[in-house]
Structure 1
Amino acid sequence: MDQQAHNDDHEEAAIRGVKDIEAARTWLRERNIQDIECIVPDIAGVARGKMMPTEKFFAGSTLTMPSSIFAQTISGDYPEDDHRFQHHPTDGDLAFFPDYRTLTIVPWESDPTAQIIHDTCTQDGSAYDVAPRNVLKNVMKLYSDEGWSAVVAPEVEFYLLKPNTDPDYPLEPPIGRSGRPEVGRQSYSISALNEFDELIDDIYDLSEAQGLEIDTLIHEEGAAQMEINLRHGDPLELADQVFLFKRTLREAALRHDMYATFMAKPMSSQPGSAMHIHQSIIDRATQRNIFSDDDGEMTDTFRHFVGGLQTYLPALTPIVAPYVNSYRRFVRNSTSPCNLFWGADNRTVGLRVPNSSPEARRIENRLPGSDANPYLAIAATMAAGYLGIKKQIEPDSPRDYSSSNQISSIPRSLLDAVAAFENNEDIISVFGEKFVSTYRAIKLEEHEIFMSVISPWEREYLLMNV
């Protein structure tokens, strides 16, 4: 390794990640870190964990938390029909082990604080298959066993909002530096971005401090709607970055008296927010993209990958559209595709093939919402493509015309999606019965909680008319 490469590696390690526990001791001592956030993403992608003094982190005891953290709904409830007590009848502890590659600072804390993402194991040391990080690892092992490496690049949309502490009131765009909220559509507008210059500077600064590799930030179509693009790379590493970026963005927005939300559809009059996932596959032996042949044309493998997405994403919709609100994104004649057609450089279909060189040929899955857990969303899209390859599923004909007015294949409600999810044997074989049964129970419980709430529409149109 030459000196420049050594310096580059040292610079990266100085920001994010170390190799082992001894390197972690040095890293934390050099920065005078007193406290560490030991975190793990739960089913919803919420950061769970414990904060502890640095000396306790190195004391040798294993971090434990109850298994029920992976059976919580987004509201903090527990489903009765979740089968978790079948596996953990006393809600026993799980063991958590740090992934030192994720060690980084928490730049918004006033005292020197670090954070590190943990992996989840049972008490006997085996990986706990319900934990989202392990779910993604299991899917990527399928690729590794074939001699392949997957490459992904997420694009995550979000809204900035005026603070609102009363859930009965609709959400509104925030006030920018001009003193006025946005009202019209501002796709790719630089002046609209400039309305939030100070916040955007903080987003970049906080992200850079954690080694989050932001490629671009643009203004999207909605009022105060933005999109962040992350550089392509390893699926697990990119899922970690999306997970950390969501925390970072919320903290940055609060500094400026705003909310940042990844809800799929926060305002009825505005477009929804997506998490588009670009994906390709590299043969590790040759380092070539297996989606292109020697002549630069798409391969059978590429078509089968697309066929797998078309075949299995309907049953995986509860993962990429995990809440009742998620299905409000799927609207005809909108910028959010509500179908699973595919085509070259066609943003009106759910599966877009971007213009690229043969070496960079990829498929963009435009179905996931930004509310999806990034670990599970990436696992879902890669699992669907893998099944398509193994079963040699042919896609339908690519579309070179507008299809935004067509709804095809995608379940229109969470209940329909869960029914398809829990009954698909191929999905159960990939994700495991324990994960499928637990996830199913959580989604059904969340739907029941939603059904207990009376909406403004019901009060508006039923109160005096029926």
Structure 2
Amino acid sequence: MTDWTDKLPRAARDFMAGRRLDEVECIVADIAGVARGKAMPASKFARQERFYLPNSIFLQTITGEWADNPSGAFTEPDMVMVPDYSTATAAPWTADWTIQVIHDAQDQQGNPMPIAPRNVLKRVVQMYRDKGWNPVVAPEMEFFLVARNIDPNQPIIPPMGRTGRRAAAKQAYSMSAVDEYGKVIDDIYDFAEAQGFEIDGILQEGGAGQVEINLNHGDPVALADEIFYFKRLIREAALRHDCFATFMAKPIEGEPGSAMHIHHSVTDLATGQNIFSDAKGRETPEFLHFVAGMQRHLPAAIALLAPYVNSYRRYVPDFAAPINLEWGRDNRTTGLRVPISGPEARRIENRLAGMDCNPYLGIAASLACGYLGLLEAENPRAECLGDAYMSQDELPYNLGDALDLMIENEAMRGVLGHEFTAVYESVKRNEYKEFLQVISPWEREHLLLNV
């Protein structure tokens, strides 16, 4: 064993035990959450402490185009990529023995790159810790297994199950529905175990072929790393069984969308106690301040929680998407739900984020809202005790409006970083402009001969 392997987590070392490691994938998440980087022979990785990538990877859109650089000339200087060995994990689907390592992006003076999504989340977490708080999150991941689709002009359809029939909708929590694509689920479990990830539970959601995976609560950066890895392993598991896994917010017309619900709590760094509960187990003022911050600032965070034009197709009534800023105890119609729990686990669930968001940025934006609420120390409006689906519209319903709200909110930009929000806006404006130039089938069907 070389010295660098001693720094790896146990799961990675167990994966490598008794084997000759062939390759190391050195990766970083771009603005979309896509893994960028380099693969190299393990022998070469062992001889170098860092490598370089152009900072322009954070200006690339989801279509592969390049957004304008808000800071000026497009000169593409190199960033220094430094491995975070705590993130090393197996790539168990590859033909040879490979591990992946997430790298931190630094400038050439050794400072964190403020436009790197992982660094944005680290920045927000550090703001909490500077105040003596420790943020804790527990994400839920929803996604669809769908039939292979190699023609973008054709609609997405559910996958074929083991019975020879396509997956059916409205089968939430059905064990038989999960068994229809049990081999994919088995591979997800096997890959997760090889990578050292603990799944809290897997269940059938309401859409045809829609699955939910819950993760245990913990450190925001570590859990964002896991979601980043999970998206890849789930896709790889699906490909083994002749189907696709998609994290689009709304892949199938007429079906529910896929969310990434984020549960939030905050502990005291000195005592480890949940600051949302007092010594007698009652809700604290800090709990209400956190809710108020979510209500006030979430409109400015939607551009990060719903980052694509497709994201807003999920925000429609009667499709199990809480499109409001109401809060309530054990009320799934509210955008901010307080689940049933003991005082030590009192938490707030943000149900607005889509599964298509970059996990680093979605969690960072959600935490930023709560952080600002703790600083502002205001109270939320009254708890919603009824059906919040009937609430007044308060959220942006297209990407352009969402970006406007993000830029107008100085407090939100201050927490996330002004340089980052400028780059994010540039990338997303470019994507939105590209979309608006596409003529849809709906327009051709209803406007071609009728207007």
2:136 corresponding residue in structure 1: 151
Conservation of the 8 A alpha-carbon contact between 2:169 and 2:209: no
1:108-158 superposed Cα distances (whole Å, 9 cap, x missing partner): 001111110000000111000000000000000011111221111100100
CA deviation after TM superposition for structure 1 residue 253, in Å? 0.2
2:336 corresponding residue in structure 1: 351
CA deviation after TM superposition for structure 1 residue 30, in Å? 4.8
RMSD: 1.5
Task: State whether structure 2 residue 64 is matched by structure 1 residue 76.
Answer: yes
**For this pair of structures, how many residues does the alignment match?**
445
Distance 1:353 1:51 in 2: 43
1:53 corresponding residue in structure 2: 41
Distance 2:378 2:28 in 1: 36
Task: State whether structure 2 residue 55 is matched by structure 1 residue 67.
Answer: yes
Instruction: Give TM-score scaled by structure 1 length.
Output: 0.93
Select 1:140's aligned residue among 111, 119, 125: 125
Distance 1:31 1:390 in 2: 52
1:383 corresponding residue in structure 2: 368
Conservation of the 8 A alpha-carbon contact between 2:364 and 2:416: no
SS in 2 for 1:188: coil
Conservation of the 8 A alpha-carbon contact between 1:186 and 1:222: yes
Q: Which runs of 5+ in 1 are unaligned?
A: 1-9, 18-25
After superposition, residues 223-372 of structure 1 pair within 5 angstroms as 223-372=208-357
Distance 2:360 2:224 in 1: 5
CA deviation after TM superposition for structure 1 residue 184, in Å? 3.3
Select 1:41's aligned residue among 20, 29, 34: 29
CA deviation after TM superposition for structure 1 residue 407, in Å? 4.5
Q: Which moved more, 1:303-312 or 1:57-66?
A: 57-66
Instruction: Give TM-score scaled by structure 2 length.
Output: 0.96
CA deviation after TM superposition for structure 1 residue 197, in Å? 1.1
SS in 2 for 1:434: helix
1:15 corresponding residue in structure 2: 11
CA deviation after TM superposition for structure 1 residue 16, in Å? 4.2
Distance 1:147 1:16 in 2: 33
SS in 1 for 2:39: strand
CA deviation after TM superposition for structure 1 residue 234, in Å? 0.5
Conservation of the 8 A alpha-carbon contact between 2:320 and 2:333: yes
Give the share of equivalent positions with the same residue, in percent: 51
Conservation of the 8 A alpha-carbon contact between 1:16 and 1:102: no
Amino acid at match of 1:13: P
Distance 2:48 2:250 in 1: 45
Q: Which moved more, 1:142-151 or 1:348-357?
A: 142-151
Distance 1:286 1:271 in 2: 42
SS in 2 for 1:428: helix
Conservation of the 8 A alpha-carbon contact between 1:71 and 1:84: no
Conservation of the 8 A alpha-carbon contact between 1:332 and 1:406: no
Structure 1 27/332 Cα, relative in aligned 2: closer, same or farther at 3 Å? closer
Amino acid at match of 2:351: R
Task: State whether structure 2 residue 93 is matched by structure 1 residue 108.
Answer: yes
SS in 2 for 1:206: helix
1:421 corresponding residue in structure 2: 406
CA deviation after TM superposition for structure 1 residue 27, in Å? 8.3
SS in 1 for 2:389: coil
Select 1:195's aligned residue among 176, 180, 183: 180
